[in-house]
Amino acid sequence: MADALSLAVADLHAFYGDSHVLHGVSLDIPAGECVTIIGRNGAGKTTTLRSIMGLIERRTGSIKVAGQDVIKAPPERIARLGVGYVPEERGIYATLDVTENLLLPRKINDRGMPLDDIYALFPNLKERRRSQGTRLSGGEQQMLAIARVLRTGASLFLLDEPTEGLAPVIVQQIGKAIELMKAQGHTIVLVEQNFHFATRIADRHYVMERGRIIDMIPRADVASQADKIQQYLGI
Amino acid sequence: MSSQVILGQLVVGLINGSFYALLSLGFAIIVGLLGIINVAQGTFYMLGAFGSWMLLNYLGIGYWPALILSPLGAAIVGMVLERTLISRVYHLDHIYGLLLTYGLMMFIMGTFIYFFATAGRPYPVPADLRGGFDLGFMFLPKYRAWVVLMALVFCFGTWFAIEKTALGRTLRAATENPNLTRAFGVNVPALLTFGFGVGVALAGFAGVMAAPIYSVSPLMGGDLVIVIFAVVVVGGMGSILGSIVTALSLGLLEGLTKVVYPPGSNMVIFVIMLIVLLVKPAGLFGRER
């Protein structure tokens, strides 16, 4: 079982240039829990993950990873605490082949998944290990983006829309990987548009609107609050 | 026209091309990784040459130690400048990096002119590399053969380090997407400083290599940077292989032009640059965006 990391975000504000994007976001995620952040496009979900990762320069408030405040820390320090990031745009490097993409993130400890296990989980990646990263299909790129952070020994994962635009059979494979992360006791923050997918995996759902968290729905209440959720998502 | 003259000029071209290759290689690493058009690349070449001259004349340290110490010294100067000045303009338009390094070039060159005047100072060819080979069509001094050999070794070594090693993998990733690379635990700012140091060290190394051939002067390298710039544009901005291949080919082409039409030899590189820019703006080895 991994040493999962807790994540506590309090009163997080973030800015892109002059525009104020996050207005006091708070999240409280104990170690080993899997939560989603749901909400419409432009609600601030991606910005929240980017802020936690240290990729938004202007941010205020507090972000604690396993109790350590990282609001002033650069991204590389946050990553080295054990945070694995799968960005929305996948972030596969064109100048690196598949293996090089996999080996790029620095190992944090020896508890990560061995390369052979990763290839067993995603056989496509093994087949294409000499291909240029961006020559992969969208689904394979997504697998690579997830595989890349599994190897490092990270135990808090920030996953930004890992199923976006993918065929159902690939969504299933991605789902399997995330369930495996969960089974290993890792903490997972999942931004997801596919609510059906999200409800299968997550313990709780944070609902975001206009840069604020407006509701929190535990797994048990999802069925009874279905109408409300549909309204939040604008379906 | 005798084949003797042609072959002779080709060898001269290959030697010039070797210097272009070492300098444009460093230039390409810096522009690719830092996005800085380092106009001062020729200045670090001059610093390398002057470093070896000073080591010899002030401390009695000869060519072989200077080959390591002088590029190292240039790299330290470069890394201090990167940390204190150049890193402050990364977030600005490329023109600011160009202007800043231009200013640095003028400042360093001016300081050296103040203390050493502009006359060339001789630097002896190391004893082990005196003499030469009779190739039949020309006499090739051993030292010049050494320059070509070392340039090839360093070019291949740098290419190998960037394409085939873990450090090179990280450098390529940081070149392509610096912010995301930080999110994977890589200290990119430190890597940029290191990359700048490597680029500068290559220029300094070329300077030490050049000292016995061209003599040492504050003005050396000043006009070389324009050729380097053309080489990197033709090869494709930031392409390592592109700059190596282009530098050697353009050196050869320049030599050949000296035989066919001597007045054109100073111009031919820039004519090629114009044509490449019109036909393939990203350069011969560059990636279209």
Single out the residue of A146, A150, A148 nearest to residue A161, CA to CA: A146
pLDDT at B39: 93
Question: What are the structure tokens assigned to A160, written together?
Answer: 């930004």
Name residues 118-177 of chain A within 8 A of B (Cβ).
148, 152
Q: How confident is the model at residue A1 (pLDDT cuts 50, 70, 90)?
A: very low
Q: Tell me which amino acid residue A122 is.
A: F
**pLDDT at A193 > cutoff 90:** no
pLDDT in tens, B88-118: 998 888 899 999 999 999 999 999 999 998 8
pLDDT in tens, B13-51: 999 999 999 999 999 999 988 889 999 999 999 999 999
pLDDT, mean of residues B143-148: 93
Q: Note whether A103 contacts B: Cβ–Cβ < 8 A.
A: yes
Q: How far apart are CA A69 and CA A51, in angstroms?
A: 13
pLDDT in tens, A150-167: 999 999 999 999 998 899
ipTM score assigned to the predicted complex: 0.92
**pLDDT at B1 > cutoff 80:** no
pLDDT at A161: 93
Q: How far apart are CA A90 and CA A78, in angstroms?
A: 19
Give B180's contacts in chain A (Cβ within 8 Å): 55, 87, 91
Distance from CA of B183 to the nearest CA of A (A): 5
Nearest to A79 among B176, B184, B189 (CB): B184
Q: Please, what's the b/e burial string for A182-219 (b: 16 or more CB within 10 A of its CB; e: otherwise)? A: beeebbbbbbbbbbebbbebbbbbbbbeebebeeebee
Q: Note whether A75 contacts B: Cβ–Cβ < 8 A.
A: yes
Q: How confident is the model at residue B71 (pLDDT cuts 50, 70, 90)?
A: very high
Q: Note whether A13 contacts B: Cβ–Cβ < 8 A.
A: no
Q: How confident is the model at residue B288 (pLDDT cuts 50, 70, 90)?
A: low
**Who has greater pLDDT, B289 or B76?**
B76
pLDDT in tens, B167-186: 999 999 998 999 999 999 99
pLDDT in tens, B196-222: 999 999 999 999 999 999 889 999 988
**pLDDT at B158 > cutoff 80:** yes
**A85–B186 CB contact, under 8 Å:** no
pLDDT, mean of residues B114-133: 90
Give B177's contacts in chain A (Cβ within 8 Å): 91, 93
**pLDDT at A213 > cutoff 80:** yes
pLDDT in tens, A169-191: 899 999 999 999 999 999 999 99
**A79–B166 CB contact, under 8 Å:** no
Is the CB of residue A14 less than 8 Å from the CB of residue A21? yes
Give B176's contacts in chain A (Cβ within 8 Å): 93-96
0.90 exceeded by pTM: no
pLDDT, mean of residues B65-93: 94
pLDDT, mean of residues A4-14: 93
Mean pLDDT of chain B: 91
- For residue A97, the chain B residue with the least C-alpha distance is B169
Give B189's contacts in chain A (Cβ within 8 Å): 74
